[in-house]
Structure formats: C-alpha cells, structure tokens
Amino acid sequence: MAFQLPFKFSGSASDATVDGRSKPSKMMDYDQPLVWVTVLLMLLGMVMVYSASIALPDSPKFRYLEDRNEYFLYRQAMYIIVSMAAAAVVFRIPIAVWQKYAPMMFIGTLVLLVLVLIPGVGVSVNGARRWLSLKVMNLQPSEIMKIAVVLYAADFTVRKQEYMHKLTKGFFPMMVAIGLVGALLLLEPDLGAFGVIVCIAMGILFLGGINIVWFGGIGALLVVIFSAIIALSPFRRARMFAYLDPWEEGNALDKAYQLTHSLIAFGRGEFFGVGLGASVEKLHYLPEAHTDFIMAVIGEELGLVGVLVVVAMFYWLVKRAFDIGRQAIALDQTFAGLAAKGIGIWIGVQTFINMGVNLGLLPTKGLTLPLMSFGGSGVMFNCIGLAILLRIDYENRVRMRGGRT
C-alpha cells in the first residue's frame, strides 16, 4: 500500500475537467522515489552495519558488549526510527521559516561547536572531541553544521545577490564565517567535516553567481590552506606519505593499515561478492568496518554489483536534489533552489570522500557514508536534510498546481 502524507495540496487550478466533473492531476503529492531510495539506503546500511559489527563483541575494545552481537543492529534500527520521525516533523516546516531562522541556526550551531571543546562537556573518543552526550546517544554538532551551512549560505547568497561580484561584501563575510567554523572543527580535530562544509559553502556561492575570477583564486587559496594543514601536522603528513605507498611494509602495518585491508576486502569481493555475512576483513582485520569503512564490507560481501547499486542510488539522490533545485529557481524560489542544490552537494561530496577513501583514491580520513554508516547524528541529520529537500519539492508542486504554500 502506498505511503500517504497526512495532508493534501491546496489549489488545483491545473486539474482538468471531463463532463463537468473534476479530474485530479496525476502529479504525485510528494516525491515517492526520493523517499524510497532514502529508505532503501538506510535499510541496506542497517543490514551491512549488522554484518560488519557482528564479531565486535569478541574484541577486547568492545568487551562491555559481552555476547550482545545484535547491539549495533538494534541501535541503528533505533536511530533510523527516530530519524524518520524527526524528518516527518521537519517536512511540515515551510521553507520560508528555514530562510528566516538560517542565521540564528548557524550561530546556535557555532555555540555547540564551542561547547564540544570544553573539558567535561565534550565527549572524547579516540583522541577526538566531537560529541555532546545526550545520555541515550551522542550528538555531533558538526553534522548539524552541515545543514546550517547549507541554509546560511543559501540565505546569504539571496540577501547579498547584488554584491556577489565584489570581494569585500560578496565573499569576505562568508569567508570569515566559514573560517570560524573551520578553526573550531580543526580543534576537535575534524578535517573531513571541515572539507565537506567548505565544499558546500563554495558550491552554493558559485551557483549563486560569485565572480568566477574570485572563485578561482579562492579555490587555489583553499588548496594551499589544506596542504599547509596537512604539512604542519605530523600525523596527517604521515598518513599522506602512507597513502602514496600503502603496500610498503612499514606503512601497511601502521598508517596505511586500514587502507590496505579495505583494498583486500574489495579484491576478495570480485564481481558478485563472497556472500552476505561471509566477510573475513570485518573479523577484527579492518578497523571501523561498521562506520567509516562500511563500503569495503559491501564490496567484499556483495561484490562489484553491490557497490555499483549503492553508487547508482547515491548518484540518483544527488541528481534529484539538483533537479529539485533547478525547478525551485525556475519558480522564482532562489533560496529554496540553492538550499536544494546545497543538500545535493553535501550528500555528493561526503559520499565521494568516503568511497574515495575506501577505494584508495583519497588519503584515509574518518568520514561516514551518508545514511548507511553506523551512527545516530549522521543518520538523523542526513534524514533532516533530505526532509528539507522533500519539502522544497512539495512546495514546487504546490506552486505548479497554482496553489500556495
């Protein structure tokens, strides 16, 4: 039975009439394929999280789990249920409200990023202080910031449209804001999240009409800045050298350990995989198999076919976000259009980085696969971002039918 939203469109000017009776439009009330692709990715992710984590209780690091092999499965299922409930609530909020409160949301999230760094308040895991404890789950403010940057950058571009060709008024304020976010994220440290946020902001500014000369110069400057961050950090520098030669014995046993075992997992999977649940690499060889390296487990168990299916679904999701954005701009809803494209950039860039790391195309970096990796904050705010996208599409459909949102 098809899922139905608890409300209908207002206005039906485009409805045809036959023999004096109204004939409803065949246009769907909401984008069902977008919903189902999102749900399928989460459900497949839940299955793969269970498969990748089933052996973790045998590890001394997870000794507290004892024989609870289904612990991560149940947690991920809970995260998905809560995330879908949150998304249903977010969907009901008009886009005009998000635009109105975008600056306040950005400032509020900055405060959360500061709180993370306070000893005794922020939760530290593996040397990184990125979470706030909510007792039932840990909240990761950097995930909220990805949504906040999408909305803030879209609102900024709309408000400063006449200044987008000027450096001081068109770009400098945004550079200061993103620079502040970057400073806080690097103190956690979380270079991966910073990279995604920079791509979101730069992408929206580019789509909003920033001067192409300034954009190119700023892009080159960002390359220099990220290169300097890596060069000045012994840990990141060692990872970069290991990435360049992962099979050298010293690297394979140290900084490139995850990368080499990820590549082994993909190699074992070949075309059709070794079978669901039959991965060897997840048996304490590949660290973080249920989070950052879940794609490697998919490659091993489901093979090239499984990987291509996942890639195709993410490609469709990103393309759909850009299609919705273009439609919104065509309807003179610039903020909504830029926000939709920003969500597409966010999902696309984060997916590309995660898959690139798993496949050895990019240096190893801790960044989850959207919707699929284990984690409450990641899944929840991915769902919230996609709920905003679904709302933009819903309002597009209302306007195309001659109604009002």
- Of the candidate ranges 20-29, 148-157, 362-371, 393-402, the one whose mean pLDDT is the lowest: 20-29
CB 359 within 8 A of CB 369: no
pLDDT tens across 260-317, in order?
A: 999 999 999 999 999 999 999 999 899 999 999 999 999 999 999 999 999 999 999 9
Q: Answer yes or no: is pLDDT of 2 > 50.
A: no
Pick from 264, 286, 390, 364: nearest CA to 48: 286
Omega cis (within 30) before 363: no
pLDDT classification of 135: cutoffs 50, 70, 90: confident
Q: Answer yes or no: is pLDDT of 26 > 60.
A: no
Residue 22's pLDDT is what? 46
pLDDT tens across 52-89, in order?
A: 999 888 888 777 777 788 999 999 999 999 999 999 99
CB 80 within 8 A of CB 46: yes
Token look-up 């008024």 returns: 169
Q: Cα–Cα distance between 343 and 393 in angstroms, integer?
A: 13
pLDDT classification of 215: cutoffs 50, 70, 90: confident
Whole-structure pTM value: 0.90
Residue 64's pLDDT is what? 77
Higher pLDDT, 164 or 266: 266
Work out whether the CA dihedral 164, 165, 171, 172 comes out positive or negative: negative
Higher pLDDT, 19 or 134: 134
Residue 119's pLDDT is what? 86
Higher pLDDT, 30 or 297: 297
Residue 239's pLDDT is what? 84
Q: Answer yes or no: is pLDDT of 383 > 70.
A: yes
Cα 292 to Cα 16, 136, 223, 354, 364, distances in angstroms: 51, 22, 24, 7, 10
Residue 30's pLDDT is what? 81
Q: Is residue 244 helix, strand or coil?
A: helix
Phi first, then psi: what are they for 288, rounded to 5°? 55, 40
Residue 44's pLDDT is what? 97
Which pair of tokens denotes residue 321? 């976000």
Q: Cα–Cα distance between 208 and 337 in angstroms, integer?
A: 10
